[in-house]
Amino acid sequence: MTATTDGSSGAPAPQATSATTAPPTDTTPQAAGTHGAAGRAIHRATDFLLARQDSEGWWKGDLDTNVTMDAEDLLLRQFLGIRDQATTDASALFIRGEQREDGTWATFYGGPGELSTTIEAYVALRLAGDAPDAPHMARASAWIRERGGIAEARVFTRIWLALFGWWKWDDLPELPPELIYFPKWMPLNIYDFGCWARQTIVPLTIVSAKRPVRPAPFPLDELHTDARNPNPAKPLAPVASWDGAFQRLDKIMHGYHRMALKPLRKAAINSAARWIIERQENDGCWGGIQPPAVYSVIALHLLGYDLQHPVLKAGLESLDRFAVWREDGARMIEACQSPVWDTCLAIIALADAGVPGDHPALVKAADWMITEQIDRPGDWSVRKPRLEPGGWAFEFHNDNYPDIDDTAEVVLALRRVRHPDTARLERAIDRGVRWNLGMQSKNGAWAAFDVDNTSPFPNRLPFCDFGEVIDPPSADVTGHVVEMLAVEGMSHDPRTRRGIEWLLAEQEANGAWFGRWGVNYVYGTGSVVPALVAAGLPTSHPAVRRAVSWLESVQNEDGGWGEDLRSYRYEDWKGQGASTASQTGWALMALLSAGERESKAVERGVTYLAETQTEDGTWDEPYFTGTGFPWDFSINYHLYRHVFPLTALGRYVHGEPFEARSAAAEES
């Protein structure tokens, strides 16, 4: 099969394997037993997933992060004067339930206590009426003081405290709104920041310029090591160092804040406000994620926008839709919602598990995803002005920020569907492929949202002390794009080959790949190996064999795979952690694509999934296996525990979904 000149394969969608298709055979009794257990698990998991499809065609699981989302929601409502007792009580119930025995709050399940998270949770509970001398509060405040108090918290936490006078604005890094005027070729222009950081920084420039203070409802002296001197001076880094240079630049910016030309500052603030309003989505949110929405509401409110103004009213209503109410009455705030991502992964899982490609559930899901394709330029077009739109975003409404990863996986999902309107399906796929190809970075790889978003300067700013603020290419996203291009018959396209070369160069010495958007080396390796094999690398290739050896070496005694978030920070955690269903699914997907179906490692992994499946057909997974920012911001996607094990089990029973097609493409 050869690619057409427009970048698509021109071939009809392949038929998804049906449940009656004969699987690869293995005549050993033990393998037959494993095969039977896998088949039974597939049946239960398929029923579970089909029953949870929305009537509109999509799937969405809850998205757990950490209690800073809930604490900041209460602080926002306090700042705006709209905090009510019922919401406060429900949020406090959730926050209390997440506190650890030592009084702290962590950023992921089973992780260590984290200072800023604990401070924000503590303040939220004070808002809810919890007394500072209550045992759970006293434990938290003592732990906070032992680690330096508020002065050692990250900048974003201290900004929230500054809004109520609990911290001095002068003791925060400066963020001038005049940044909005920096041209795109100039260092530290707003498009040097990753889209998630850009959407947050622009409204915060307004907040930083205005420096508002609302009356604090209570003091927080108990969170300082010395309430009389809460922020003792610290020595500057050497002037010749990057840190020292940016610290001194920040001092200059503080001086500029006092002397800024009023007409220029006013114009910059107005330009930033216009930028914010132009990027509000149809549902009232900004970028489909909670933090930019929160800061955008605050910024516009400071500029005189009434809470009943259509922009702010829609923004606040959108934030309410991030709330998940639990059966016990607790209220949890999602940082984001993931229907497009969840839906394409669900289609892949069901199709690979044997659900026919023309099944009504898959056709309905494909219809919904096609309507979600983005047909207008977004921020990505600043650096790709001639590229036609055609990507998909992660969320329900996020037309400004489609992402490359979702687009690749949506195409892979649509290729599994036998849609009655073939022409419509092909048009959507063709546009998605074209857009993804156009978003390739100079080094041959792909990032999540932007092209060549690799400036070294944003991460150096004193303001940027939390999480990633740039969007460089990653192995997991590049792997997904390469796999998609291979399925589209473009394995030999020079752009695909450049992506493969980059992936081969990025392999770690131990055989694994770093996982930027999932935890961590298991995710990276599980994303890359299937892509390389789909693109034509033989399973005997040294890179594939090294990956197989590494995965086998980190398999747990129970047969599963697991990796803790600490692997982002500590070498000895690579591939180490309690077994989870999602990470076991990733490892099995890599091993199966590498031709290891009859290996002992695969048999043990499949057995682990079959034996740990719950009676209702899914898997329990309290551990966080998704990544927002490596180490700093972690995610528990509730559907991961289901779609990835089902995909792996389906491929174990029915074989690789595009195996026959790839072989035919290689022969032609």
What residues are annotated to the active site? 405
Q: Which amino acid is at 414?
A: L
The gap between the terminal CA atoms of the chain, to the nearest Å, is 5
Beta carbons of 208 and 174 less than 8 angstroms apart: yes
- In 3-state terms, what secondary structure has residue 2? coil
- In 3-state terms, what secondary structure has residue 377? coil
Burial-class residue 182 by CB neighbours within 10 Å (0-12, 13-18, 19+): middle
* Spatial separation of the C-alpha atoms in residues 636 and 641, rounded to whole Å: 9
Beta carbons of 217 and 81 less than 8 angstroms apart: no
* Spatial separation of the C-alpha atoms in residues 428 and 405, rounded to whole Å: 16
- CA-closest candidate to residue 485, choices 1, 32, 119, 162: 1
- In 3-state terms, what secondary structure has residue 230? coil
Beta carbons of 213 and 239 less than 8 angstroms apart: no
Three-state secondary structure readout of 550-607? HHHHCCCCCCCECCCHHHHCCHHHCCCCCCEHHHHHHHHHHHHHCCCCCCHHHHHHHH
Largest CA distance in the chain: 81
* Spatial separation of the C-alpha atoms in residues 605 and 581, rounded to whole Å: 10
Using alpha carbons, list the distances in angstroms from residue 306 to 123, 292, 294. 27, 19, 15
State the number of CA atoms in the 13 A half-sphere of 84 facing the CB: 2
* Spatial separation of the C-alpha atoms in residues 244 and 238, rounded to whole Å: 5
Beta-strand (E) ranges in 150-263? none
